[in-house]
Amino acid sequence: MPLDHRLSPEHEQLRRTVEAFAHDVVAPKIGAFYERHEFPYDIVREMARMGLFGLPFPEEYGGMGGDYLALCLAIEELARVDSSVAITLEAGVSLGAMPIFRFGTEEQRRRWLPALCSGESLGAFGLTEPECGSDASGTRTTAVRDGGEWVINGSKSFITNSGTDITGLITVTAVTGRKPDGAPRISTIIVPSGTPGLTVAPGYSKVGWNASDTHELSFSDVRVPESHLLGAEGRGYAQFLSILDEGRIAIAALATGLAQGCVDESVRYAGERVAFGRPIGENQAIEFKLADMATRAYTSRIAWRDAASRLLAGEPFKTEAAMAKLHASENAVTNAREATQIHGGYGFMNEYPVARMWRDAKILEIGEGTSEVQRMLIARHLKAA
């Protein structure tokens, strides 16, 4: 049966609302935040008032009662203008709050989700470590029981939303024991911000995403109650693999937004820039570039919406999510390069959005699973089919 990618009236209205917000509120302000490497609290507060951080969660936990498609639509529209605010939303929801919703007890959900859904606080996802990126099974952070508490020691790197003034918690993967075969038993534990022993390093000096928040974290005898265990002990690695599968759809939507933003900016510039007596957009070389860029954005959108529809239908979507993330992220990188070329020297100037998009695009081929990891997942599926 052919898949219908047309949006419902409710989803289309949400998309249009976020599109208007991105162009009217985010676009005029975000460049200055980006250049200062400053987190845009005012913009994030407005996103919170719109209910964006609660989009896929039930109303009983303070959410908007929407679904994952709604979240991804919002992420794509934000990323058409700026990726820093888009990744702030993506990480806060799909990585920060979603693990608690998916795997938390009812008590944990009612304690933590209302503030996360309202945007009053942000959640962070503590998985990556300095010496194990793609191989998360190599986790070295440890957590041991002591007198009804977990005592956590170790470090995490590249953690988004981990050091803002409104960061409320970090879900941390840690080794809590060994299996009979000697393999680590990895569990997930909720660590509230400000817990003694938790140190947030200064923000990274990044190539892109400069208005988003990213830090290295260290844990030195950090103590939290045993009740902060998220899900079953020893299931943390499996839980976060599941969360990453969903998150790849959201990153594909973000990459699609960036790819589309490159089209938007390039069409506008090509119609205004005059060279040799006519707009450069009338030159076939530019027309062909724009056509290819639009096609990349279109196919990326189809890919992530297909993966999202499978997720919502309760069907297997792991492979489709990997394909969408791979396809969309590589298309975003290509479109950013082409947009910069179309803009010529101005494409190298930070005052033009495409310069920001060019700097932001590369991380999409790395974060939440590198392109190589996506190809590995896809290949495994082909062998098993």
Closest C-alpha among 326, 352, 207 to residue 266: 352
Through-space distance between the first and last CA atoms of the chain, rounded to whole angstroms: 20
Distance CA 301, CA 260 (A): 9
How is residue 227 written in tokens? 């009740």
Give the distance, in angstroms, between the CA of residue 3 and the centroid of all CA atoms in the same chain: 25
CA-closest candidate to residue 267, choices 284, 291, 285: 291
Among 129, 320, 368, 372, the one annotated catalytic: 368
Question: Rounded to an integer, what distance in angstroms lies between the CA atom of residue 183 and that of residue 63?
Answer: 38
> What CA–CA distance (Å, rounded) separates 197 from 222?
5
Helices (H) and strands (E) in the chain, counts: 12, 9
Please state, in angstroms and rounded to a whole number, the distance separating the CA atoms of residues 46 and 67: 20
CA distances from 24 to 18, 78, 182 (A): 10, 11, 55
3-state secondary structure of 219: strand
In terms of Cβ atoms closer than 10 Å to its own Cβ (0-12, 13-18, 19+), residue 234 is middle
User: 267 Cβ partners below 8 Å, 6+ apart?
Assistant: 281, 290
Counting Cα atoms < 13 Å in the Cβ hemisphere of 124 gives 29
Q: For this structure, is 368 an active site residue?
A: yes
Instruction: Return the active site residues.
Output: 368
